[in-house]
Homo-oligomer: A and B are copies of this chain.
Amino acid sequence: MASSVTPTPLLKDELDIVIPTIRNLDFLEMWRPFFQPYHLIIVQDGDPSKVIKVPEGFDYELYNRNDINRILGPKSSCISFKDSACRCFGYMVSKKKYIFTIDDDCFVAKDPSGNDINALEQHIKNLLSPSTPFFFNTLYDPYREGADFVRGYPFSLREGVPTAVSHGLWLNIPDYDAPTQLVKPRERNTRFVDAVLTIPKGTLFPMCGMNLAFDRELIGPAMYFGLMGDGQPIGRYDDMWAGWCIKVICDHLGLGVKTGLPYIWHSKASNPFVNLKKEYKGIYWQEELIPFFQAATLPKECTTVQSCYKELSKQVKAKLGKIDDYFNKLADAMLTWIEAWDELNPSTQLANGK
């Protein structure tokens, strides 16, 4: 397990790396110097009889659909099939405080000096330093070396709040929707923006699940990636759905969400025609979903992530059910998810109160 790059890996025993996949995990070779010290949770999507090869030397557990069905029983209905949304099963079975999740078409990016970026290390830095959701700091993350709060930043807000989520970005293939992919097939993201910033309270953002870390204890039960893929009318909205839900709940509970660094190298654009089929209802529905989440408020009595999430599920049913029956199913699945989470994580149910 000797690694020349990370002599003392941060949070080695407190973080799991969750990877949803349908193929052999050769991409891990490039991540070996950074990931090898950590435990991996691999969620195998699709045909459970297929054997997924994991490069030697990695410490991992792997779950396929049969495992999910066995562990959750009838509650497994809340875990998507044939969609990377299935990754959230890994969040649920983890016993660690922190999760980093990454797609298997994401590779190590280089910073402008040509050095390999240790994405995981940056996520950990983001999660371990506070967030500043109540007032914008124009020099970005005030806790980074060489930065601070600027003139005019209220002193009472300089302690910040705990960071629940760290959202990383992508060089090369940007995370575009199908219409944008179709219109700009050759666009590549080459701009390295050397910033981490807190997404202000009250502001929603499009959370991408490709390169994402979070504090399970603070926000885990809300990191549900919804019903997507097989048997469902949409796909590619799993991470978006989770992003809207976690942001509303983080805002309510006074937790922070950061975006920016680290970058990964996203190697392959998915097929825009296939994506369009998966997305088109989402593209239409999101015009109503976003105003819903923008207006959503949670009662004071909701002081745990679980209680917030259950309340949100109630509001989804009451206000979005009329758009399509899918949202009634989704609201039910949100409750099933929480039940399954609490079953597998009996201690966090109480510990999570704040």
Footprint of B on A, CB under 8 Å? 112, 135-140, 144, 146-156, 167, 169, 174-177, 179-180, 184, 187-195, 199-208, 236-237, 239-240, 243, 259, 279, 283, 286-287, 290
Number of copies: 2
**Other 16 A-B pairs with CB < 8 A, given A135-B204, A150-B176, A194-B194:** A135-B203, A135-B290, A136-B203, A136-B206, A138-B175, A139-B189, A146-B187, A146-B189, A147-B191, A151-B177, A151-B206, A152-B239, A153-B177, A193-B194, A195-B195, A203-B203
Is the beta-carbon distance between A174 and B112 smaller than 8 angstroms? Answer: no
Least Cβ distance of A115 to chain B in Å?
15
| In the A-B complex, the 9 residue pairs with the closest CB atoms | A152-B206, A136-B205, A200-B203, A152-B240, A151-B177, A193-B195, A202-B202, A151-B175, A150-B175
30 examples of A-B residue contacts, CB within 8 angstroms:
A112-B112, A135-B203, A135-B290, A136-B204, A136-B205, A136-B206, A137-B206, A138-B175, A138-B205, A138-B259, A140-B193, A146-B188, A146-B189, A147-B174, A150-B206, A150-B208, A151-B175, A151-B176, A151-B177, A151-B240, A151-B279, A152-B239, A152-B240, A154-B287, A155-B283, A193-B194, A193-B195, A194-B194, A200-B203, A202-B202
Residues of chain B with a CB closer than 8 A to A204's CB: 135-136
How distant is the Cα of A180 from the Cα of B194 in the complex, in angstroms?
23
How distant is the Cα of A283 from the Cα of B236 in the complex, in angstroms?
47
Tell whether A148 pairs with B180 under 8 Å between CB atoms, given A139-B174, A204-B136: yes
**A286 closest partner in B (C-beta):** B154
Least Cβ distance of A87 to chain B in Å?
17
Residues of chain B with a CB closer than 8 A to A283's CB: 155
Least Cβ distance of A20 to chain B in Å?
17
**A135 closest partner in B (C-beta):** B204
Is the beta-carbon distance between A243 and B152 smaller than 8 angstroms? Answer: yes
Is the beta-carbon distance between A155 and B191 smaller than 8 angstroms? Answer: no
Is the beta-carbon distance between A138 and B150 smaller than 8 angstroms? Answer: no
Is the beta-carbon distance between B147 and A189 smaller than 8 angstroms? Answer: yes
How distant is the Cα of A112 from the Cα of B180 in the complex, in angstroms?
30
How distant is the Cα of A205 from the Cα of B203 in the complex, in angstroms?
14
How distant is the Cα of A294 from the Cα of B186 in the complex, in angstroms?
42
Residues of chain B with a CB closer than 8 A to A184's CB: 148
Is the beta-carbon distance between A287 and B156 smaller than 8 angstroms? Answer: yes
How distant is the Cα of A192 from the Cα of B112 in the complex, in angstroms?
12
Least Cβ distance of A237 to chain B in Å?
7
Least Cβ distance of A341 to chain B in Å?
24
How distant is the Cα of A174 from the Cα of B144 in the complex, in angstroms?
14
Residues of chain B with a CB closer than 8 A to A279's CB: 151
**A113 closest partner in B (C-beta):** B112
Residues of chain B with a CB closer than 8 A to A153's CB: 177, 206
**A188 closest partner in B (C-beta):** B146
Residues of chain B with a CB closer than 8 A to A148's CB: 174, 176, 180, 184, 187
**A257 closest partner in B (C-beta):** B136
